[in-house]
Amino acid sequence: MKTFGLMVFNILIIAIYSYGQKGDDGTPNNIVVVPPTPDVAKIAEYGDIQSNLFNGVPNIGIPIYTISVDNFSLPISLKYNASGFKVDEMSSAVGLGWSLFAGGNIAISVRGRSDNLANRYVLANYNDFSPDDQTLPTGGGRSDYEWAKFMIDNNYDTEQDIYYYTVGDYSGKFFMNNDLTRIIQVPYSNLKITKQNGYRIRDTKGVEYVFADPETISTTQRCSVGVSNLRGSSTNNITGSSLSQITTANGRKINFSYESIDLKYPVGMDETRYVSPASQPSGQCSLLDSKDRLCQMISLSQQRRLKTITFDDSSLVINFNYDITTREDIALDNIRYGNRLKSIEVYCNSVLQKRFTLSHDYFRTQAYNTTQSIDDQSLNSRLKLTSVSEEGVGSYVFNYNERELLPARLSFAQDLWGYYNQKNANTSLIPKELYPDGRGANRTSISNFKTAFLLEKMMYPTGGSTSFRYEPHTDSQFVQHTAAVTKTLYLGYTGTGLGRSFRDTVVLSGISRNCTISYYVSESSTDRSTGSIQYPDGTILSLTTPGFNSLSRALNNGTYIIAINNTNANVVKSIGISSTVDSTYNTKEVVIVGGVRIAKMTDISTTGAEKSTFYDYNIPNTTKSSITYTHKSPGLINSFYTRTASASSFTECSYNVLSSSSYPDLGTDLNENPIGYQYVTVKKDSLGLVGRKKYKFSIKPSDLIGDISVPGTPEWCRGKQIESITEQYNPATTSWIVVEKEQAVYKTNFHPQAMLTPGYPQEHEELVPNFRLRYLKTELSNAGLTFPAEFIYETFECKSTWVRLDQQKKFYYGGNNQTLIDSVQYSYANLDHVQPTTIASLDSKGRLIQLLRKYPQDFAGTPVYDTMVSRNILPIIQEDQYRSNQFVKNDKTNYLLFGQLPLPSSVEEKSGTSNSIIKTTYQKYDTFGNLQQLVKANGVVESYIWGYKNKYPIAKVVGVNYADAISYLNTNLVNSALPSDQTIKDEVTKVRNGLVGRGFVNTYTFIPWIGMTTSVNSKGRALYYLFDSQGRLKVVKDNDGKILKFYDYQYQVPVNQ
């Protein structure tokens, strides 16, 4: 059952297709205190949009603002998912396909019932549990049989929920162990995720993301057929949690505040039908129409929408403003709900720095009209983002494909993936293949309408643009076809050697059209004969017309009695029944599956110059698609029995329970994987004549190395880039020549030694058992007798392991020769931190180069490193370099606790056989981890003075200690929230004047959150940086006022003076 928030779903739709973590490599660096001189990159005339090659979805987004502090950055943006829109897909507050990425979210896909609810049962032993066993356990308690009934009757949860997270540069998923005390990442990573007043994620720099703002959803069903199902309704499920606070490793905080709004709307349709396997019940087995259900699933949510992002000293505030008018595409009981995101405002030091205004309209269906009810209008509307305008800069404008229109939400015209298939005559969601008589919905896929409402062109503020062309995903599959053939259902004879008459009881089945009855009888005085056919309901058809006869009759599947009475045994008489039936056969064809992939992107500059990129997803040099996926049909078939008591026995009737819905789960615990491609070729022209690059991705366990024994294809085996080949076209030979090849080898070990027993627990192999339990036959009591219930009991495991990069190779091809120019082997000796401990490579002379690395976990027992491990601060502490197994050098960064913060205390280096030397000693930090004093190896001291509430360095003093340096200025003045440039200049001038002849002083002024405004070196020469009202660098001047650079944000204009 899918019960997650509207906004959360849209935020995570991209993330669930690319599980994995992105982070730095942890290479040790000296501390950088003063930021680089500010400059600005020219705003692109057209976008540099990349494609997620594995799944064919382009990365489309609009940057809003990036919060940067303490070597930490948090980008805020609007992102677009161009994988196609399903019929029942909802729009976020930004618009259909668009999402606001501003911090992060955790979305919960509830399996069974929410993990947070009380009704949860964990079996002591999943393998020994037998729901049919009524043996009472020793010492009392319920039998397995009684437990099974109790769990079903009380709607117990027996499955793990799946949690999907997106935060900063990280995305992935996790689940809990059975007693909900431990979080298991899929796959394992060195992020630290805990459940504590919500959820907390720490990256490897010690930045903590706190998710403590839950979103709850209640669901109910409204049925046009039948009554609602107990499991179709739930109350206050926690289906997501929003990011409430970020704390950097040095204690700076970024706070996120939300507001609650009610959202009520139909999510999708849910249908269940009971049919007998033979399609036509007879005798005591009546139709079960009373149990059929066709219901709308209604979501009643308390949505938590982002209102503000605030830095801990309120010097930076980002407001998210929503329209007061309710949306036209969200409604229930003719009341509208929800509001569109209207604008985003960035305030730096209480001054408006940036404002983005979002303009909207609606995608309408062909059936939409203004006279419809509010509910019907909402189903026929989808929120559309038309433009995003940055004040003082310009607008992003969007063109969409509205030549093709989607139908109303809740339409039955959906393929097996949920996309529109133009089968508007469908009145059901249950695929016709599940019905014995072929009735039901046509849920085949078509290529048309897959791109309906998709973004086709994005125009940029500078006048450039990017256009997008999509194509459906395709696969080669065996397709079943049906042809009408004549089939003899029955043929009976009398005559010579066969006797004078016959009476056959036969069961006719497979009848779908009228039948032809052919017979030969005679009523002459010497050759009298007659025939008859008795129908299942007792009606008799007499066959008495002399001679050969043929008639058409509507016959139903069932039991018939067919007879001939013949007085002349020497003359053949006969009765035959035939019918035109459907015969099936299979052919292999290219079929449409899923949504769409990017086929071509074209960047158009302000001058009209075009630059196109083409994407080919076939196996190289073939026309065969390299697609890979596993897809669970939304149609299910289960067995169900009714029991009717009579005296000391009972009668059973069997039925097939057919069900389907239009809202599949977010993700799945089954072996289901989203669409991906083993091969993708990227070309700059349609034929690749100006060169091409071929990529290969892992799609199955055998594409990785290691001891792997796992059924199916776990998601952690998929989507790793394992090869890229750059080729150039040779027109003389009309062939492509390999120029360069890169390979990557990934490794994992996953091999359970016994049921639910990991073979590599030290490598984070995990198996968490789950089960599903339902009645096959309910318990029946009558006349003192009890006929026990029977059950369907299914077990499965949630699995995870650790996947690591094992080897990288790079080849260069000159002439006809292949040359290995780079080979790197990674080893992992400490599985507590799963980071490379040995990196081995060959230099240009073929010599073995080894880097041996140590991390905080390798110094366990030392308080500062234990603190770092507990806070997940995992930099490289020590690196030893060897060449041809001979020691070359050692670099080590030592740490100490300065107050509560683990910070570098010194950097030491040892080369060859010489003694180790201390290159730098870090002696003093403030409470925010800002470096205040260091000493170089030559004994020279450097001091750093901080201002603007300790966020920016205002002076670097060489040759004087920190205490002396700050004695010349008023620290309260420089550390006010927004001191003027003049205040800072006056105070640092006091330092400069006071230290004449004693030290060298460099000074800086800033506009907080904008950038550096002046930089004055120790000789008193200044550079000035001027910004416009949007916080963009406009002019750089030197000490004499000469303009060095001028920016117009479309072209960088040279200035001649």
pLDDT in tens, 695-726: 999 999 999 999 999 888 888 899 999 999 99
Two structure tokens written together for 446: 């078509």
pLDDT band at 1056 (very low <50, low <70, confident <90, very high): very low
E-strand spans in 248-315?
A: 253-275, 293-311
Measured at the CA of 1043, the angle between CA 1041 and CA 1046, to 5 degrees, comes to 145
| 631-645, 758-772, 1012-1026: range with lowest mean pLDDT | 631-645
**Segment among 9-18, 170-179, 386-395, 826-835 with least mean pLDDT:** 9-18
What's residue 976's pLDDT?
83
What integer is the mean pLDDT of 665-688? 78
SS3 375: helix
CATH number 3.40.50.300 given to 480-586: no
pLDDT confidence tier of residue 71, bands split at 50, 70 and 90: confident
Radius of gyration of the chain (CA): 36
Q: Kindly compute the dihedral angle of the four CA atoms of residues 385, 58, 309, 1033, in this order, to the nearest 10 degrees.
A: -90
Average pLDDT over residues 566-587: 78
Q: Cα 1029 vs. chain centroid, distance in angstroms?
A: 38
Average pLDDT over residues 853-870: 96
Which of 436-440, 465-469, 557-561, 795-799 shows the lowest per-residue confidence on average (mean pLDDT)? 436-440
SS (H, E, C) 172-214: EEEEECCCCCCEEEECCCCCEEEECCCEEEECCECCEEEEEEE
Identify the pLDDT of residue 865.
97
Report the share of the chain in percent with pLDDT over 70: 91
> Under a CB-based contact definition with an 8 Å cutoff, are residues 340 and 6 in contact?
no
Q: Does residue 983 surpass a pLDDT of 80?
A: yes
Q: Give per-residue pLDDT as tens, 723-768.
A: 999 999 888 888 888 999 999 999 999 998 876 788 899 999 998 8
pLDDT 10s digits, 145-201:
999 999 998 888 888 888 999 888 888 899 998 888 899 999 999 999 999 888 999
Whole-Å CA distances, 101 to 48, 63, 67, 306:
19, 10, 13, 10
Identify the CA nearest to 530 among candidates 540, 520, 516: 520
* Mean pLDDT computed over 418-442: 90
Q: Among the listed ranges 58-62, 568-572, 952-956, which one has the minimum average pLDDT value?
A: 568-572
| Bridge partners, 817 (sequence order) | 814
- Is the CB of residue 583 less than 8 Å from the CB of residue 464? no
At residue 7, does pLDDT exceed 50? no
Residues 6+ apart with CB under 8 A from 787: 643, 645, 650, 779, 780, 781
Lowest mean pLDDT among 86-90, 361-365, 544-548, 622-626: 544-548
Q: Name the pLDDT band for 40 (thresholds 50, 70, 90).
A: very low
Dihedral of alpha carbons 582, 588, 591, 594, sign: positive
Asked if residue 6 has pLDDT above 60, the reply is: no
First to last CA, the chain: 70
Comparing CA positions, the residue from 618, 807, 804 lying closest to residue 723 is: 807
Q: Which of 296, 317, 294 is nearest to 306 (CA)?
A: 317
Cis peptide before 788 (omega within 30 of 0): no
CB 857 within 8 A of CB 866: no
- Which residues have CB under 8 Å from 184's CB, separation 6+? 174, 175, 176, 177, 766, 768, 798, 800
- What pLDDT does 978 receive? 80
Give the contacts of 747 (CB within 8 A, at least 6 positions apart): 704, 705, 706, 803, 804, 805, 806
Quick one: pLDDT band at residue 233, thresholds 50, 70, 90?
Answer: low
Question: 12 falls in which pLDDT band (50, 70, 90)?
Answer: very low
Q: What is the 3-state secondary structure (H, E, C) of 901-922?
A: EEEEEEEEEEECCCCCEEEEEE
pLDDT band at 648 (very low <50, low <70, confident <90, very high): low
Cα 783 to Cα 781: distance, rounded to the nearest angstrom: 7
Report the distance separating Cα 567 and Cα 552, nearest Å.
27
Range scoring the smallest mean pLDDT among 584-588, 852-856, 903-907, 970-974: 584-588
Each residue's pLDDT tens digit, 341-379: 999 999 988 889 999 999 999 999 999 999 999 999 999
Residues in contact with 964: Cβ distance below 8 Å, sequence separation at least 6, in sequence order: 943, 995
Distance, in Å, from the CA atom of 251 to the CA atom of 930, rounded to the nearest integer, reads 11
3-state secondary structure of 69: strand
Question: Is residue 198 within 8 Å of residue 213, measured between CB atoms?
Answer: yes
Q: Which of 5-14, 93-102, 103-112, 947-956 has the lowest mean pLDDT?
A: 5-14
DSSP state for residue 945 in the 8-state scheme = E
What's the length of the chain? Answer: 1057
What is the per-residue pLDDT for 886?
A: 94
- Cβ-Cβ contacts under 8 Å for 102 (sequence gap 6 or more): 64, 76, 77, 256, 306, 309, 318, 320
pLDDT of residue 32: 44
Q: What is the mean pLDDT of the chain?
A: 86
Distance CA 518, CA 149 (A): 55
Q: What is the 3-class SS of 75-96, one letter each residue?
A: EEEEEECCCCCCCCCCCCCCCC
pLDDT for the residue 718: 92
**pLDDT value at residue 1049:** 62
Residue 515: DSSP 8-state: E
The better pLDDT of the pair 187, 653 is held by 187
CA angle 677, 679, 680 (to 5 degrees): 90
Q: Which two tokens stand for residue 626?
A: 């390299």
Structure tokens at 149: 């009934």
Q: Which of 203-217, 493-507, 925-939 has the highest mean pLDDT?
A: 925-939
**3-state DSSP call for residue 307?**
strand
What is the reported pLDDT for 895?
98
Domain ranges in the chain are 480-586
- Minimal CA–CA distance to 1047: which of 44, 39, 37? 39
The yes-or-no verdict on residue 224 having pLDDT over 50 is: yes
The highest-confidence range among 268-272, 861-865, 913-917, 995-999, by mean pLDDT, is 861-865
Full-model pTM: 0.85
Mean pLDDT in residue range 777-797: 85
Neighbours of 1053 (CB within 10 A): 9
* 58 touches 51 (CB < 8 A): yes
Q: Which residues of 327-339 are buried (b: 16+ CB within 10 A; e: fewer)?
A: bbbbbbeeebbbb
